[in-house]
Structure 1
């Protein structure tokens, strides 16, 4: 990541999160603390009011009056950017494909987080069929998470499930709040899964602070967690191609399913449905719901997974 990208993420983190330590910033940006101090110096030279609070509970903070507003794009402008990121590929001779996709993802997340009218465009290209309800404001979510971390209070989240497109209740002990790859994430102990998990703020519908008290484990390392779970925040998009037979083709053509979708007409009124996603587990369940009227063309591993599931189902019946 470039220095400019690091500086932008630092500003956004300080703007929303408030007091933040050099260690937290270093772990989030994957640099050493000396680099963080150099970045702070660069921001001060640019007249961005970042201050230092010394002492055991010290850190960096930015003036409350300072506010960096993300660029406001219309839905058509954002859709055009998304389309361009899928058309301009290395296969087509464009050498900056990875950098373009990364930049568009960050712009998209910032625009969606600040504009409720764009929520249906979804976060980071995740697959889902439709949006449920309106989301709490980003500032409100961050404020409650920061309060919970400072007081050691467990949160109760209403979290949007991608597989069934409904809301699940999750109880979370928050360890860290980070801004990565253009989006906000909260990391903590999930009571339901009995493990440390990452939740995207853009998929949280509501947050409630409970009276339950927790202590962050002394041996939890944000740096190690980010290193072990790098794919949660980075990674290439997966191209998925599905052939829908004519019985389901009209239904697919008359709906809007994903920002990257592409349709191609075939003989006998069949269609090819192409899209790019971060992961395929939830998409697989949706495709299988069409039964014999949908066939995965690529990727091959997804065809194999569905075949194995069908074989297991046949054994039971």
Structure 2
């Protein structure tokens, strides 16, 4: 790592961890303490004010009044955060598990359109995958990312023994405390969904065979009462003004979240299963957001507001 990179990394450490002494910085940067003092001088020449606190528990502190650019996460770092759900969710004693999942949802929403494996969480992750299934999940995600076929060995509930066949992974998702992959089965010549389960999935091998995703494929075609993924899912479209759309993007609204930007507003679309929870989120904004579709969801929300207003107008 060159000198410039080390200086930048030193800034990142001071910004994220707060006060650090020379030895701690040298250890993190894999250099000697003398270089840390030189890095500080160079950074101050560049305009950063790094304060030095004397004493036994002293160290360097970056002046919080300094302007500091937010460094974007790499695709690998985003994927690592996404996958960390599995590990953290296995520790049920963690008192802030709900807040952790909400925070990850917000980060994932920020990087929704980046080139990463599109794992959809339709609800909060619950059951923890075995180490074998985690390995299969990684393999499936790699095939999804690279557009390479997977050699899948799987036994459905209607079959007496497992079968091995080629599979094109399109999407990995979580629904009702289980993980699934949806894609094209070369065996059935159709879209199929398979569950990551030790009782069903026997093997999952990455192949050198490339696949081309069906251009007509849309996830929403395969969810709903009479689809592969059962459930009462509703596609929502809502409008947010310039001031509000930034705050909208900080929240988790549902899966397949999309934004269409215009000069003075944005149109957001996504799928929800719990409409009441959606209403609660909309109401928390008070203004700046308008439900566009579906019309019955819009009308029901308007009526709810009228009913509430009527109570106070008596």
User: Is this a same-fold pair by TM over 0.5?
Assistant: no
> Which structure is higher in RCO with an 8 Å CA cutoff and minimum separation 6?
1
Structure with the largest fraction of helix: 1
Structure with bigger gyration radius = 2
Q: How would you bin the TM-score normalised by the shorter chain?
A: 0.3 to 0.5
